[in-house]
Amino acid sequence: MLSASARPRPTGGVAARITLLVLVAATGIVGYLGIRPSQSWILALTAVLVALAVDGIVRTHPRWRQSGFANGLVHLMLPGLAVLAAGLFIHETLDGYERTGAGILAALGVGAIALGLYTTVDYSSTYYGAMRIGLAVATYLAAFALFSVSYAADVNLPVSAIAVGVVAALLATELIRESRMLDNSSLIAGFAIGISLAELRVALYFFPLDGLLGGALLVIGFYLGTGLVHHLGDRDLQFLTLLEYLAVAGVAVAAVVFTRVTVGG
């Protein structure tokens, strides 16, 4: 058994890699936001490079022992989608020099995600709980940004629904990887959540919602689906837990409806 002081921690080499990762992410995101007309391939290439880099960083952890398709794939999802979410959301909501500042902050967030994924390889790490919470927050923020963009973008309903479903399925694998579901089971669960969110996107088409409110409702559904699946995977879903999730979702939906009525007119 390793003592607390002897447990593996991020080394200088890992810190250097994460710093380089932040620079790559910042260059790609700011470049995408600053060049006119926008070059979508820059953001897509940045997302791929960041995802592969984070996966490589995670695999350098001394306690990396995982194997299997799902375990190897899960660390690609969040960082890559976070880059896409940041670039697209900033592009849709901000103008001028604010874009540059927001892009740099987003790149720092990508670095924090990389550190979180690296740290959580070691389940006994002192910072495991805090890092998992941070990764969950990052996942929901990325989901909200991508859902909002897909809702507000000038695309037809089938394309928007498919985009929402794919994003939900990929991000769900990050949130449920702590449960007892292993390998392909977690992928199947993520696929089911993706289908459910795509159906919800179709249902929301018939309501007068803007991108932000529509994205908020989709995130609420995503929260409900991933939370319940996580507990089902751990076989600890109880009636009171179900009520808690439904209550939180109900209050959140009520807040969105209230905002739509009072602000949207």
- Residue 188 pLDDT more than 90? no
Please state the domain extents for the chain: 10-125, 155-265
pLDDT at 140: 95
Interior angle at CA 114, CA 131 and CA 233, nearest 5: 55
- Residue 178 burial by Cβ neighbours in a 10 Å radius (0-12, 13-18, 19+): middle
Q: Which of 18-32, 138-152, 170-184, 205-219 has the lowest mean pLDDT?
A: 170-184
pTM for the whole thing? 0.88
The Cα 21–Cα 47 span in angstroms is 11
Phi, psi of 147 (to 5 degrees): -60, -45
Model pLDDT for residues 120-156, shown as the tens digit of each residue: 888 888 999 999 999 999 999 999 999 999 887 778 8
